[in-house]
Chains A and B, each alone.
Chain A
Amino acid sequence: MSFLVVDHVSKFFPSHAGGGEVCIFKDVTLKVDKGEFVTVIGHSGCGKSTLLNIIAGLETLSEGGVILNGREVSGPGLDRMVVFQNFALMPWMTVFENIALAVRSAYPDWGREQVTAHVHKYIDLVGLKGAEEKRPIALSGGMKQRVGLARAFSIEPKVLLLDEPFAQIDALTRGVIQEELVQMWNATRNTVFMVTHDVDEAILLSDRIMLMTNGPSSRVAEIVDVTIPRPRSRDTVIEHPHYYKIRNHVIHFLVRHAVHGAAGERGVPGETSDVAPLVVRF
């Protein structure tokens, strides 16, 4: 059995127009192995962040279940840490305190020195040495998300959930942090579930990319295997013959689904939910 299983999960929201419910996504099934890096790409509103929040336990699901390491997940927990799009650092705490809050929660038996050493280890890992006593206001977006990553990695969760982690970071810094994330992931081999808009980011980081159709009633239409060997880096990955094949395939999919309601060759959304996602492999 896979490490993380999202089993036929559907999500309905009460309709704003009144009367009935709106289906966000339907019958999403996904199996992630231990140490695997899986990414979901889709247009805004396809429910990919909702899916991530359901795995995190921050939102309830309407149907189906999420199973982690053989146990059904209910509610948030330290085994599934989220890296938030808007960083979600406590602005009244310093960098050190933000990470220490997480470390103390994950390891309540640790003494003060052990916590301090652990926090410093992860601050060093993301290259923020010297910024320990700064508050988030004094940090750039890139530095803030480095703190977010350090906080997430520091509690050594079973699954890391990255919710468009680099969307609010300028393009140049984004590349640098993506590379750092690759290195951190190489070192730790965490199981990662990421949600993004960025195709290049997905190819650089992921083992598999899930493509979601547009909402409402969106579903996972295709799963693309990223057949580019690791270790990867930004300049070598684009040299690989599969890079542009994968990239073009994903972009074609997204363009095909760009117009609302144009669900491509698979017909009307909602009627095809029993069809298993197409596995694409180059």
Chain B
Amino acid sequence: MKTNGNGSPWMISVFLLVIFLGGWHLLTLRTSFDAKGKTEEQLQMLEFNGDIVRAEAGGYAWNPEKMKGVPGPLAVVEKARVELSEAFVIKGTNDHGIGYLVLYTVSRFAGGFLAASVVAIIFGVLLGLNRVLFRAVNPFIQVLKPISPLAWMPLLLYTVKDPKWTAVLVVFMAAVWPTLATTAFGVSSLKKEYLHVAAILQLSWFKRLYRVILPGAAPTIVNGLRIAFGSALVAVVPAEMLLGELGVGYLSWIEWNNLDIAGVIFAILVVGVVGVILDSGFNKLAGLVTYQE
């Protein structure tokens, strides 16, 4: 298929961003307060509620302290500026700077994901090498795999009795099944010639695993890790929200409780940025272990 056009994709990206931000700005723009057609009583009521304030030059204007509707991009940028300028400031038990929140989320995510990957790869290799065991265990994996990791949360919270570890375990639960299933598949569908060569060369069990089986199954294992990575990243945000564990996911919820919609949007953007950074790091690692045939 011939690709059409030779323009820069960056130009299009910038154009789309401008359109999006411009549209957002215009749609959220508030017209200045118009007192016409309102009785003195209604105006007093609005002022009493704090919706409007009396302007110095007489007349009324919208109260800038009280936002209504979705905030515009400028409000979000202002919020981001404030938050980022205090990224590493702790103001209270529930008010840590955004830098700390990102750190908490990333470490929570990394702990659960890495633990799940190690466990899943070990068991996946065992299952992949033993066809009978694989077929015996596969029905359980198939049942456990589609369960939302959040469904485990009450049970996990009840058993470990610690929201901190529960959040890590929810990430673990989200990440373990895809890696387990694909590792077992990758190892069991490894070309038998590779194993034949390993057998003829009388490689030790350990060498067979590290020189042949793991590198041979690496592309499939990485695919499993990629799926696990995505589902763990999706699980970490609601886990924080539900458990009240400080992090970027919880930030979104706190800001909602504060009715600070600009803060919510900022939190969403932070989640996205954190995801992109983690994902690119993962892709770099993945590139090191995959091969082409």
Question: Could you tell me which A residues sit within 8 Å of B by CB distance?
Answer: 56-58, 75-78, 80-82, 84, 86, 88, 90-93, 101-102, 105-106, 135-137, 155
A90 adjacent to B201 (CB under 8 Å): no
B193 adjacent to A92 (CB under 8 Å): no
- CA–CA, A231 to B45, complex, Å? 112
Q: A90-B194, A90-B212, A92-B216 are in contact. Are A105 and B202 (CB under 8 A)?
A: yes
- CA–CA, A184 to B213, complex, Å? 32
Given contacts A86-B193, A93-B215, list 7 more A-B pairs with CB under 8 A. A56-B200, A58-B196, A76-B199, A78-B201, A90-B212, A90-B216, A105-B202
B202 adjacent to A77 (CB under 8 Å): yes
- CA–CA, A135 to B293, complex, Å? 9
Distance in Å: Cβ of B202 to nearest Cβ of chain A = 6
| Cβ-based interface call for B211 (8 A) | yes
On chain A, the residues within 8 Å of B293 by CB distance are: 91, 136-137
Q: Identify which of B194, B199, B201, B292 gathers the most chain A CB atoms within 10 Å of its CB.
A: B201
Nearest A-chain residue to B191, judged by Cβ: A88
A81 adjacent to B215 (CB under 8 Å): no
Distance in Å: Cβ of B67 to nearest Cβ of chain A = 57
B169-213, CB < 8 A from A = 191, 193-194, 196-197, 199-203, 211-212
On chain A, the residues within 8 Å of B291 by CB distance are: 91-92, 135, 137
| Cβ-based interface call for B218 (8 A) | yes
B202 adjacent to A58 (CB under 8 Å): no
A76 adjacent to B292 (CB under 8 Å): no
- CA–CA, A101 to B191, complex, Å? 18
Q: Identify which of B196, B197, B202 gathers the most chain A CB atoms within 10 Å of its CB.
A: B197
Question: Could you give, for residues 239-280 of chain B, a 1 whenever the CB lies within 8 Å of some chain A CB and a 0 otherwise?
Answer: 000000000000000000000000000000000000000000
Q: A92-B216, A92-B291, A137-B293 are in contact. Are A76 and B193 (CB under 8 A)?
A: no
- CA–CA, A82 to B201, complex, Å? 10
B199 adjacent to A88 (CB under 8 Å): no
Distance in Å: Cβ of B254 to nearest Cβ of chain A = 47
A81 adjacent to B200 (CB under 8 Å): yes
Q: Which of B194, B196, B212 contacts A82 (CB 8 A)?
A: B196
On chain B, the residues within 8 Å of A77 by CB distance are: 200, 202
Listed by A's residue number, 16 A-B pairs whose Cβ atoms lie within 8 Å are A57-B199, A57-B200, A58-B200, A76-B199, A76-B202, A78-B201, A82-B196, A84-B193, A88-B197, A90-B194, A92-B215, A105-B203, A106-B201, A135-B292, A137-B291, A155-B201
On chain A, the residues within 8 Å of B200 by CB distance are: 56-58, 76-78, 80-82
- CA–CA, A187 to B193, complex, Å? 28
On chain A, the residues within 8 Å of B196 by CB distance are: 56, 58, 76, 82, 84, 88
Q: Identify which of B200, B201, B212, B215 gathers the most chain A CB atoms within 10 Å of its CB.
A: B200
On chain B, the residues within 8 Å of A81 by CB distance are: 200
Distance in Å: Cβ of A107 to nearest Cβ of chain B = 11
Distance in Å: Cβ of B197 to nearest Cβ of chain A = 5
On chain A, the residues within 8 Å of B212 by CB distance are: 90
Nearest B-chain residue to A86, judged by Cβ: B193
Top 10 nearest A-B pairs by Cβ distance?
A88-B193, A105-B201, A92-B291, A76-B199, A92-B215, A76-B200, A137-B292, A91-B293, A91-B291, A58-B196
On chain A, the residues within 8 Å of B218 by CB distance are: 92
On chain B, the residues within 8 Å of A86 by CB distance are: 193
Q: A82-B200, A105-B201 are in contact. Are A90 and B292 (CB under 8 A)?
A: no
- CA–CA, A214 to B191, complex, Å? 28
Nearest B-chain residue to A80, judged by Cβ: B200
Distance in Å: Cβ of A54 to nearest Cβ of chain B = 13
Distance in Å: Cβ of A199 to nearest Cβ of chain B = 26
- CA–CA, A55 to B138, complex, Å? 35
On chain A, the residues within 8 Å of B197 by CB distance are: 82, 84, 88, 90
- CA–CA, A90 to B194, complex, Å? 7
A78 adjacent to B202 (CB under 8 Å): yes
Nearest B-chain residue to A102, judged by Cβ: B201
Distance in Å: Cβ of A110 to nearest Cβ of chain B = 14
Q: Which of A75, A90, A137 contacts B215 (CB 8 A)?
A: A90
Distance in Å: Cβ of A69 to nearest Cβ of chain B = 17
- CA–CA, A157 to B38, complex, Å? 101
On chain A, the residues within 8 Å of B193 by CB distance are: 84, 86, 88
Distance in Å: Cβ of A38 to nearest Cβ of chain B = 20
- CA–CA, A102 to B220, complex, Å? 25
Nearest B-chain residue to A161, judged by Cβ: B200
- CA–CA, A81 to B193, complex, Å? 13
B199 adjacent to A58 (CB under 8 Å): yes
- CA–CA, A78 to B292, complex, Å? 28
On chain A, the residues within 8 Å of B201 by CB distance are: 78, 101-102, 105-106, 155
Distance in Å: Cβ of B248 to nearest Cβ of chain A = 37
A91 adjacent to B202 (CB under 8 Å): no
On chain B, the residues within 8 Å of A58 by CB distance are: 196, 199-200
On chain B, the residues within 8 Å of A137 by CB distance are: 291-293
Q: A84-B193, A86-B193 are in contact. Are A91 and B199 (CB under 8 A)?
A: no
Nearest B-chain residue to A84, judged by Cβ: B193
- CA–CA, A87 to B196, complex, Å? 12
- CA–CA, A75 to B202, complex, Å? 10
Q: Identify which of A58, A92, A101 gathers the most chain B CB atoms within 10 Å of its CB.
A: A92
